[in-house]
Amino acid sequence: MPLPRLTPRARSALIGASLLITLSACERPATQAPPAPVEVAPESAAAEPRPNDIVLLHGGIIHTVDSGQPLASAMAFYRSGEILAVGDDAALLAAFPDATQRDLAGRTVIPGLIDSHGHLHNFAESLTRAQLMGTQSKEEVVQRLREHEQSLGANDWLLGRGWDQNDWPVQEFPSAADLDQAFPDRPVLLERIDGHAAWANSAAMAMADRDLSGDWQVEGGLIYRDAAGQPTGIFIDKAALLLEQIVPATSDATMMEALDLAQDELLRLGLTGVHDPGLGRVAMDRFQRKLAQGQLRTRLYAMTDGAGETLDWLCANGPLEDPDGFLFMRATKLYGDGALGSRGAALLEDYSDDPGNRGLLFLQAQEMQAQVDKVLACGFQVAVHAIGDRGNRVVLDAMAAAMAAHPDNPGRHRVEHAQLVAPEDLARFAELGIIAAMQPTHATSDMYWAERRVGPERIQGAYAWRTLLDSGAKLAFGSDFPVEQVDPRLGLFAAVSRQDLAGEPAGGWYADERVTRYEALRGFTLDAAYAGFMEKMVGSLEEGKRADFVVLDRDYMSIPVAEIPKLVVLETWLDGKQLYAAPEAP
């Protein structure tokens, strides 16, 4: 099923006409003038680009993530997107005297950042719901819900996401009763921050297709019930589908508009690419329409939902690849287990703070083996969510067997998250050539309670970036937004510090697992590109690759570590086009 093709010339005309995004003010040092945007003129109709079709940046600090030339001061590229040369000022100014010149005035350039695990479609949908991240109590959740309710119709569900009981004074799951007084009649359904639990009120539970009381459970899920067998309002993993499947869908028009806003936010933060895991056919259709309309302003590596008909459809139709490099679908996402925060991650031994509970496997070992084998037999990359040490072992075993059975598959299979891995399994990533797609901010978000979940011994194999890298494994970094904030600066900071924004704990949480600044940057650029089979196109600034890059106010490599989250994204360029410029400081 071929994707609609836009020529580079047509895409240039469409994107070049876009307005610059000015979502929010960003501070810039007072001594530094705002960057002058480069005017993007229509491409010449001639076969060979004219000199003024070339942009030459010079006078900067360019971290290329190219091992052959890691540092440069100048870069020339066609307005149509291809990088012509990277080097020093003198050489490039002499080579391209008629190019449109831009003096970076000492500013820093890095490759466009790529989030190897970000839910762009879900993030867009979350923009239409109550935002509950950062709430410090159940009462604050209710307050935010009351504010959001003002925008709803009389019969609308009240939906929200982002609550985390670990941030509250009493770190226990809430109940329907906590919502019922404020919302006795309107159905309320709230997704936990990790996406692996839901909190419902009584009105929502009453609308379920079956009686939720009793002692039955959903395979791969858990309904919390009281002593009388009545549901408390908490639904873990697949049990949440009992309510999610009856929620009216967000309108297509609303979602298409929300996707534009979500892309604006990515560009504002320096992201030029994202790998979106677990997409269904409706979401894929929306992204294909955005592509056809010239409104896909990120390089999207889509991973389909591996459940049911979506995988069958993918196997029947083969991979989808936009020849202009903006939309790819050649991977499938499966789920191995749940999340650590909601105690759904599958463990080899009991949870330290919940004896008798070892979490949940979404698919038993034999079922996982069959699913992974099916994906590889179709010729696709498989990416499997695995958080607990048991979940990771089941997934690694399944991948090892399937890879042996299908040696012609192109490989680069991925474990998404790999948060807690048994020490004896860590070396298997490198041995099997399996990519660990990890999210640095998960460690710094979870560090306040993770050791309570698994104890002091098992925590040694948690968020083990340094150990994995030293074993020869490849790490692709991301954020898992909207579970975490979209901002890649926070991921870069977490990777090199293992601290929160207050600088705690001193020296870093299990600091031996920190990575270097270069390794962190590579994880968000070249290695993320590799995880999506795109390293020959993007991920580093080299001759022949596409001009995806970010201009920063200061040098990421030399500023104090604590300043990394405060770096200002001045400009974001995608395929040789400036799609974001920071507004002038007031």
Instruction: Quote the DSSP letter at residue 26.
Output: -
Candidates 142, 333, 152; CA nearest to 248 is 152
Residue 446 in any domain: the answer is: yes
Specify whether 48 is located in the same domain as 145.
Answer: no
* Cα 304 to Cα 220, 229, 285, 314, 320, distances in angstroms: 20, 37, 12, 8, 11
Specify whether 137 is located in the same domain as 89.
Answer: no
* Cα 334 to Cα 45, 122, 311, 371, 419, distances in angstroms: 46, 17, 10, 8, 16
Candidates 186, 196, 134, 183; CA nearest to 163 is 134
Q: State the amino acid at position 118 in one-letter form.
A: G
CATH number, domain containing residue 566? 2.30.40.10
574 strand-pairing partners: 577
3-state secondary structure of 362: coil
pLDDT (0 to 100) of residue 1: 38
Candidates 586, 517, 581; CA nearest to 553 is 581
Torsion of CA 21, 27, 30, 34, to 10 degrees: -10
Peptide bond into 488 cis (omega under 30): no
Candidates 467, 462, 369; CA nearest to 417 is 462
Specify whether 357 is located in the same domain as 473.
Answer: yes
pLDDT (0 to 100) of residue 33: 38
Angle at 510 between CA 274 and CA 529, to 5 degrees: 20
- Report how many domains make up the chain: 3
* Residue 75 and residue 109 in contact, taking contact as beta carbons nearer than 8 Å: yes
Candidates 168, 127, 164, 134; CA nearest to 148 is 127
Integer Cα distance of 384 and 306 in angstroms = 9
Specify whether 346 is located in the same domain as 489.
Answer: yes
In which domain, by residue range, is 300 found? 253-531
Integer Cα distance of 199 and 195 in angstroms = 11
pLDDT (0 to 100) of residue 195: 84
Residue 2 in any domain: the answer is: no
Residue 539 in any domain: the answer is: no
* Residue 14 and residue 294 in contact, taking contact as beta carbons nearer than 8 Å: yes
* Residue 314 and residue 331 in contact, taking contact as beta carbons nearer than 8 Å: no
Specify whether 89 is located in the same domain as 238.
Answer: no
Listed as ranges, residues in the chain with pLDDT below 70 are: 1-52, 584-586
Output the six-digit token pair for 573.
């360029």
Integer Cα distance of 188 and 141 in angstroms = 12
pLDDT (0 to 100) of residue 14: 34
* Residue 161 and residue 132 in contact, taking contact as beta carbons nearer than 8 Å: yes
Specify whether 73 is located in the same domain as 174.
Answer: no
Specify whether 30 is located in the same domain as 80.
Answer: yes
Of 198, 225, 244, which residue sits at a domain end?
A: 244
